[in-house]
């Protein structure tokens, strides 16, 4: 490991309270960090209360994300899901040179009779509209001010990311999970999920392939203040497909418009999909329950700060 590597202890706690007993609950969990060239999940543990009657061990969805599913067929007024992970992160380098963005869009465009490599076929899944991502002329016009003719893909992604960061206001009260991305564009306010959906809409409106990435971000407490347990939250950013050139392999460029940075060792990846619905940490169906409330507490802690651990794990 190099000096830029980091090891994190992550706790993600979710609590549901129901106004009436839930008779039956089927849930799918996406709480296991992905294994990636720069990321290794060395330990992972999930505890569910009440204990499930049917827990299915890890399998993967069509995007390669790790899943667990469970069922509860006993009456319950609350549900607690506790996920604990240890993750090692290595610094990742941005590509030294990327093609002009127009060339990338042309590579991904449909041509009758043209075959696609496995990587480009996978990338084509992230070209189109999805539940929270729209393809519209106004998004293309907004993005075109950043993706000027002949500009490299990396430079265009950076320009768009920083424009969104500078022009949008982070406001947890401005949106809900169902706020349309067109409304976010008008108000220019929202949370990381909104920033990501808007940037995806801009990129896909230009004919570029981009996916929604869900994960965690290490946050720093104010100077002199201790790190608060449970004060962090899930995070979201985008990843843009870049075809290789001059013998280089294809790659994906991650960009965090909420913070205006390219993710590195402070970003922990859970998984990705077309938008938030594909990668929701906990999603399911239930019978009964009535009104419900949900509370989420996330703690991302460097290994050297974990109580009782004398050395980096």
Alpha carbon distance 239, 252 (integer Å): 6
pLDDT at 312: 40
Domain with CATH 3.10.620.30 in the chain: 101-263
pLDDT at 185: 97
pLDDT-based confidence at residue 55 (cuts at 50, 70, 90): confident
pTM reported for the whole predicted model = 0.91
CATH topology of domain 101-263: C8orf32 fold (3.10.620)
pLDDT-based confidence at residue 290 (cuts at 50, 70, 90): confident
Domain with CATH 2.60.40.2250 in the chain: 6-90+280-303
pLDDT at 227: 62
Q: Are 206 and 100 in contact (CB under 8 A)?
A: no
pLDDT at 262: 96
Write out pLDDT tens, residues 56-104: 777 899 999 999 999 999 999 999 999 999 999 999 989 988 999 999 9
Burial of 148 (0-12, 13-18, 19+ CB in 10 A): exposed
Write out pLDDT tens, residues 97-153: 899 999 999 988 876 556 677 888 899 999 999 999 999 999 999 999 999 999 999
Alpha carbon distance 107, 248 (integer Å): 16
CATH topology of domain 6-90+280-303: Immunoglobulin-like (2.60.40)
């Amino acid at each position: 490991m190099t000096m830029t590597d980091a090891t994190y202890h992550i706790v993600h706690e979710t609590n549901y309270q129901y106004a009436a007993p839930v008779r039956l609950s089927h849930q799918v969990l996406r709480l296991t960090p992905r294994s990636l060239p720069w990321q290794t999940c060395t330990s992972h543990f999930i505890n569910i209360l009440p204990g499930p009657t049917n827990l299915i061990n890890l399998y993967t969805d069509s995007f390669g994300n790790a899943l667990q599913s469970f069922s509860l067929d006993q009456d319950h007024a609350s549900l607690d899901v506790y996920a604990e992970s240890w993750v090692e992160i290595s610094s990742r380098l941005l590509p030294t040179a990327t093609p002009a963005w127009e060339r990338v869009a042309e590579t991904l465009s449909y041509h009758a009779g043209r075959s696609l490599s496995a990587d480009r076929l996978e990338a084509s899944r992230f070209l189109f509209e999805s539940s929270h991502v729209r393809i519209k002329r106004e998004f293309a016009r907004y993005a075109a001010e950043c993706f000027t003719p002949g500009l490299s893909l990396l430079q265009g992604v950076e320009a768009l990311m920083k424009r969104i960061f500078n022009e949008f206001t982070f406001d947890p009260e401005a949106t809900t999970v169902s706020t349309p991305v067109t409304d976010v564009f008008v108000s220019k306010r929202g949370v990381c999920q909104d920033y990501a959906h808007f940037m995806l809409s801009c990129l896909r409106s230009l004919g570029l392939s981009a996916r929604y990435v869900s994960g965690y971000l290490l946050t720093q407490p104010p100077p002199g203040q201790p790190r608060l347990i449970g004060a962090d939250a899930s995070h979201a950013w985008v990843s843009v497909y870049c075809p290789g050139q001059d013998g280089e392999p294809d790659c994906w460029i991650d960009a965090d418009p909420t913070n205006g940075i390219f993710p590195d060792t402070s970003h922990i990846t859970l998984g990705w999909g077309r938008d938030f619905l594909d990668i929701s940490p906990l999603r399911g169906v239930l019978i009964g329950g009535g009104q419900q409330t949900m509370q989420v507490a996330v703690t991302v802690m460097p290994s050297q700060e974990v109580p009782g651990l004398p050395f980096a794990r």
